[in-house]
Amino acid sequence: MSLPASCQLHQIQLWAYLRDLFCLLYNWPQNDILQLAPAYWKETRERPEIKAQLDKNPFRRINDAYIVAIFEPDVAKKNDTDDLVNNGVR
C-alpha cells in the first residue's frame, strides 16, 4: 500500500503527516520507528511530549501560515487586515 493510500485509509491529511514526520524523524529512536507509521500516527501525535515537540518546531509554524495563505486566502486576507488594523495602519 502506498503512503497516500495509507494516510487516506487512516483519515490523515498527507501533507500535515509528512510535515510533522519530517519534524520528528531526525531524532526519533530507531527501535520506535513503527510509531510514526500512518496506522499508529494519531496515537503518537496525541502524546504530550510529541505535541510539545511539534509545537516548538519553527518549520511547522511557518508551514501552517503558508498553507493558510495558499489554501485559505480569505482567512489569510482577514488576518492581514486584522493585523493592519490592530497595528494602527489603515
pTM, to two decimals: 0.68
Question: Which pLDDT value is given to residue 88?
Answer: 45
- Give the contacts of 59 (CB within 8 A, at least 6 positions apart): 19, 22, 23
Long-range contacts: 26-32, Cβ < 8 Å, 24+? none
Q: Average pLDDT per run of 10 along the chain, which is 90 residues long?
A: 92 90 90 94 94 86 74 56 43
CA atoms of 25 and 44, how far apart (whole Å): 13
CB atoms within 10 A of CB 17: 20
Question: Which pLDDT value is given to residue 73?
Answer: 62
